[in-house]
Amino acid sequence: MVLFFFASRGSDNIATIRTAIQIQDRMSQPMRAMHNAVSMMVNQMEAMHVASGQMIDTSCVELARRELALAAQVISSIEQEVNNASGAQQRFTNNIRDGTSAADGLLNKIIGIVGAYLSI
């Protein structure tokens, strides 16, 4: 996942990025649920295979297990990226807020110096 951060005086861009992160994060739980459902189905297929005296061809079950393992890795990776992006977004927001406060303080000092200079 690649996120681009945009700085602006308003919070429109930051809110848009935050919304994108929330949408991605809300997708991870349904993906986990689907993964669990498919995993349970594969388990049931294996149980049927054993119960039927191995009369069912389950050659694709091992492939399904490998694919499920890969899917679990991808889901975990996406969740980690969302968490990392969320943390980066929070740090970015804090830096913008701190920079804005510092710039406002600097501006007030400059106005004070100019005012003092003009009153001389």
**How confident is the model over 54-96, as pLDDT tens digits?**
777 777 888 888 888 998 898 888 888 888 888 888 888 888 8
Select the more confidently predicted residue: 9 or 30. Answer: 30
Half-sphere exposure of 21 (CA within 13 A, CB side): 20
- CA–centroid distance for 85 within its chain: 5
User: pTM of the predicted model, to two decimals?
Assistant: 0.53
| Helical H segments across 1-120, by residue range | 12-51, 59-118
The distance in angstroms from the start CA to the end CA of the chain is: 58
**Cβ-contact 65, 42 below 8 angstroms:** yes
pLDDT one-digit tens code per residue, 29-55: 788 888 888 888 888 888 888 888 877
Contact indicator for 37, 116 with CB cutoff of 8 Å: no
Angstrom CA distances, 53 to 14, 48, 64, stand at 60, 9, 21
